[in-house]
Amino acid sequence: MVGLSTSALTAQAVELVCPVTSTRNLSGDVTNSALCNVSPGVLLVTSQSLSNLSGGTLNNSGSLLVTSGTLNNLTGGTLNNFSQLELISATLNNTGVLMNSGLLTGGPAATIHNQASGTLNNMAGATLDNNKNLINAGTVNNFGRVAIWANAAGSLTNTGTFNNYSGATLVGFGAINNSGVVNNAGGMSLVSGGSVNGGSGITVTNASGHTQANAGTLTALGVFHNAGTFNNTGAITTQSGATHGQLKNSGVLNNNAGTLALSTGSGYDFTGGILNNTGTFQLQRAFALGTPAAGTVNLNAGGSLNNYAALSNVAGHTQANAGTLTNFSGSTFINAGRLQNTGTVTLAAGSNFDFTGGTFNNAGTLNLQR
């Protein structure tokens, strides 16, 4: 929307005649600068633009369909969707306040662009379905459901602030690329891309230098890559599958009283990254401390490492444990390096261990239940 000005619009546009109570087909450039209600009518924008100007309030309780062209909600303007707002091969530019309390759909050739000064509120019970481009440089407050669909290569690009509140859902079937701030206190599910993606899953990237916080539930069936700082006080679970559930951390992952679970068949790559654990780190797959893929793992006081699979500390590596390291029945723990314990290490009944060639320096507690 660079270069778009109110004066340029008003000079060439006609004012929208309100209210809209039947089917109205707009062509050319149309503006609204007052209160306009679409109820129970149908407003069709088939070319060029409909612009809600500063001071204008556009309330849609009917159907607002933008087949092509542009829908602009400018700074100082308010666009309220209480029913159905659909973009086909069109662009929605928001620099004002957009409130969705109904169904907002971006079609397979549409772009929803919340600009730096814009606020997009997706209210409780509302749905925002994005099939192509959802771009946020401003603030998105999600209290309802936001879905990023992969069928038309749908994506969410966030350079602003995306707040996913308690009770809300952010579902990613497409790509979610974050170089801003994502605050998740609700449900954030990362789902494989279906037939178009060939089951290859999706990628969620938290870019270098940026911070993402999760206080809710993040279930990854695709690839989750943290290259910045990720603060987890909720739950992160990577699901199983040959091409699904890949957790990559090349930044700093702070598991602060949260749960980080690597499921059977999932993948991990912490190369160059740091995991600070004061929560629960749960292993249901093999994990090798001291390998490049493990990065740096700090098992801090107050944290727990729960091993249900195969945990190893490789030769030449020194691993400190100030928390609780528990090897459950059926698990295997191999220490070929140096383990320095100031916390608690538990070898449960039915677990297997091998310290051949390794060193165990214990200044804490060792529980042998076998």
pLDDT at 200: 39
- Report the C-alpha gap between 253 and 224 in whole angstroms: 12
Q: How far is CA 366 from the centre of its chain?
A: 40
pLDDT at 191: 65
Could you give the percent of the chain with pLDDT greater than 70?
Answer: 91
In angstroms, what CA-CA distances link 273 with 11, 141, 248, 305? 55, 30, 9, 18
Query: Under a CB-based contact definition with an 8 Å cutoff, are residues 176 and 149 in contact?
Result: no
Q: What is the pLDDT of residues 122-177, one digit of tens each?
A: 999 999 999 999 999 999 999 999 999 877 678 899 999 999 999 999 988 778 88
Q: What is the pLDDT of residues 24-82, one digit of tens each?
A: 999 899 999 999 999 999 999 998 999 999 999 999 999 999 999 999 999 999 999 99
* pTM score of the predicted model: 0.88
pLDDT at 225: 86
pLDDT at 181: 86
Is 90 exceeded by the pLDDT of residue 288? Answer: yes
Q: What is the pLDDT of residues 68-93, one digit of tens each?
A: 999 999 999 999 999 999 999 999 99
pLDDT at 187: 84
In angstroms, what CA-CA distances link 70 with 88, 114, 120? 11, 13, 17
pLDDT at 3: 42
pLDDT at 210: 80
User: In the predicted model, what is the mean pLDDT of residues 269-279?
Assistant: 98
Query: CA angle at residue 146 from 142 to 151, to 5 degrees?
Result: 160
Residue 110 carries which side chain, given as an amino acid letter? Answer: A
- DSSP letters for 288-327: EETSGGG-EEEE-TT-EEEESSEEEE-TT-EEEE-SEEEE
If DSSP codes are grouped into helix, strand and coil, which group holds residue 102?
Answer: coil
Q: Longest Cα pair distance anywhere in the chain, in angstroms?
A: 84
Is 70 exceeded by the pLDDT of residue 106? Answer: yes
Residue 350 carries which side chain, given as an amino acid letter? Answer: G
Is 90 exceeded by the pLDDT of residue 272? Answer: yes
Q: What is the pLDDT of residues 193-221, one digit of tens each?
A: 422 222 334 567 788 888 888 888 877 76
pLDDT at 202: 56
Is 60 exceeded by the pLDDT of residue 15? Answer: yes
Could you give the percent of the chain with pLDDT greater than 90?
Answer: 73
Q: Which residue has the higher pLDDT, 252 or 241?
A: 252
pLDDT bracket for residue 308 (50, 70, 90): very high
User: In the predicted model, what is the mean pLDDT of residues 250-266?
Assistant: 95
Is 90 exceeded by the pLDDT of residue 361? Answer: yes
Is 70 exceeded by the pLDDT of residue 263? Answer: yes
